[in-house]
Amino acid sequence: MSIGVNTNMGSEAFAGLRGKAGASVLESVHAEGSVKGLLFELNVEQRYRNAGATNIEAVYSFPVPWNAVLLDVECVLGERALRGTVVAKADGERQYERALEEGDTAVMVERAADGVYTVNVGNLLPNETALLRFRYAQLLTLAQSQVRLVVPTVIGPRFGDPGAIGMQPHQVPVTDLLARHPFTLDLELHGELAGGRLASPSHALATRRTEGGVHVSPAEACLDRDFVLAIDGLAASSVSTVGKDGRGYVALASFCPERTAAAHPLGLKILVDCSGSMNGDRIDAARTALHQVLSHLDTADSFSFSRFGSEVEHCTRTLMAATPRAIAKAGGWVSATQADMGGTDIRQALLSTFELGAPAVADVLLVTDGDVWEADELVACAERAGQRVFAVGIGSAPASSLLHMLAIRSGGACELVADPAEASGAIRRMVGRMRQAPVTNAQVRWDGDARWQADSGPLFSGETVHHFAGFFERAPGSAVLEWRDAGSGAPQRAELRIDGDVIEGDTLARIAAAARMRDADARTRHALAMEYGLVGQTTNLVLTLARAEGEKQSSMPALERVAQALPAGWGGAGVLRTGTYSAPAVWSRGDTAPMLRQRQAGYETPAMFRRQALPEADPYPNRASMRAFAEHFSDSSGAQPGSLDQLEDRLPQELVDALRGLAAAGHGEAALVQALLDAIRKLLMPGSLMTRLADKVARFGRPGATQEDRMLAIQVEQIVRDAYDAKGAADRDEAIPAFLRKQAD
């Protein structure tokens, strides 16, 4: 199958990319979940069917949320339901292989990478159906009045060597351009979350009130993007939970403190991913997010700007003061940013960015889709650097485990942006975090002797941080969180009374065990995984079904790998914008779901920034006026415009507004108009005399031209191209340069 792709992405990303028609052994996935307080539990059913004539081994690698804990797994074959048990990895592999050799059916689940599990269903007979059911649990967090729930559904192509992190060849996901797996999801929200404002940047929602809260489901979905649910308008509060842990107790204190320290100026290193996988919607969202970052900088702040792909490009070698002129210059760099820098060498990019401006203390804002495999090495580099990483994950299925771990281990934070319209809120929250000084000496004092403790990460004002502790004889009655801000050094505290009611079941104890494993040594991690039945680096889950003599298979099964769909918007393939999805027609199948259209409250772009509505006959409303303008000023015989006022009524209003924003940032109107004329001639009349003259001037330099003049030309050219390629307001929202957006604010 022939496809049009950006060949600069790096060949390693396409090792598993294919186009293969035909039915998949994975027929469908259905999930049912509930959210009670901040505990999210999801039951997932994967339906496998062997439509062939011989026995097969179905292999499927699937994602789970970055901090979720895989709990129970069972397999239903006909009338028989079998539950799996967790054993040491080597033992599990031997049990699985022995069952297949003896002609029986077996299922094995193993951890392939952070946030990725692989299931093997061996000896599935012709015309036989297997239902694999598993449950995972996750602690959610309240972040600045919002809880964000993400159900990952697809693993996109990633750069790097998966073998370097221990993945086996059968575990590495393959991508089929024609794959489409139906997906249904039913969620029940209880308590305070049921009263929040609901929005989804990924899917159209169907909601209804129930006796216990609110039922939420995507109107229509398949496994080509993560399901994202934002629950907003929630009050900050601290909560506690106590559960049984064998003969003892486990306590969870979820603090949501309000820090009182004053905001401090930013020392900010901006690092944006320009690899090929960012093409299309992802780079659009990145530009929107970066313009938002620039619009939130103050004169007391300093910043640098860097781009990376196969190599890293630092636009500045040190941090520069956030003056209006510097912000305008950086706005030009942002507008000129494209996904054209090849592969994703994020390690080298981070290392060189950490070294910028040394020894100045600064935070790193990383904007990327995170589509790489080598997570552990990156996290170790970030920890050694001593600089906080604030990661903004872009796309319909970003590698969220990597980005969250980078952020948490370095003391930063992570936000995921599934749609450019989300960028404003995400960046507002991220800048609020970055303006908070790092916390030192954070600890929890419990009412009672804790035999062990574990926490979930950095402390930010108005955001949940979970602390676990284990106790022998009695549950604690209170917990006190104490910390100091690095800036002022003033001691602060938050106290939480603990409800004495003990919840049933072992879910809380197993989540706590997974939290303890993150900072434990290898021996302790393995012991905890075995004790609490957790699938980890050294443990697998296995179940076997002994076949009757007439059903035993005499030959080993044929391998049948379940391919991933290409995530919506990956590398420019398909579009995911403000809840609307469309895919290239050449890849569409007859049963492809209809487009999903949605504009959620809270993500609406202000009217002054939206493009004018299109006449139905012309999908590009700006092109006619821009062509007429180019023809009128195609040579030097007529009077050339000298001010922005002379452009009114001749060019699209948003283009003129963007130029006025540049003028307000300190650029002269004459220089702006000249740059505009050069850009329009270059775009619309590439062979004209005036264009050739302008090209010569550009090559040899205008008299007195500076680097700032050249950056202005790039910036204006990008504004012109954006206006020329703009579709109607119903299809696409404007990415407004930071300086214009800052004026509007």
Task: Name every residue whose Cβ is closer than 8 Å to that of residue 526 and which is 6 or more positions away in sequence.
Answer: 88, 536, 538, 539
Q: Look at the block and give the residue holding tokens 């942002």.
A: 334
What DSSP designation does 68 have? Answer: -
Overall average pLDDT of the 239-248 stretch = 93
0.95 cut: is pTM over it? no
Question: Is residue 581 predicted with pLDDT exceeding 60?
Answer: no
Q: Is 649 exposed, middle or buried (0-12, 13-18, 19+ CB in 10 A)?
A: exposed
CA–CA distances in Å: residue 573 to residues 26, 370, 371: 23, 17, 15
* Model confidence band, residue 665 (pLDDT cutoffs 50, 70, 90): low
State the pLDDT at residue 640.
73
pLDDT at 59: 96
Q: Tell me which CATH code domain 267-434 carries.
A: 3.40.50.410
More reliable by pLDDT, 375 or 588: 375
Residue extents of the structural domains in the chain: 239-260+453-531, 267-434, 605-744
| Residues 577-589: b if buried by 16+ CB within 10 A, e if exposed | bbbbbebeeebee
Mean pLDDT of the residues in the chain: 82
617 — pLDDT class (breaks 50, 70, 90): very low
Interatomic CA distance for residues 155 and 133, integer angstroms: 20
**Tell me, what's the pLDDT at 744?**
38
Tell me the pLDDT band of 6, cut-offs 50, 70 and 90: very low
Tens of pLDDT, residue by residue over 484-507, are 888 778 889 999 999 778 988 999
For residue 365, what pLDDT is reported?
95
* pLDDT tens by residue, 185-236: 999 999 999 999 999 999 999 999 999 899 999 988 899 999 999 999 999 8
β 69-77/129-139 pair status: antiparallel
pLDDT-derived band at 392, boundaries 50, 70, 90: very high
Structure confidence at residue 589 (pLDDT): 29
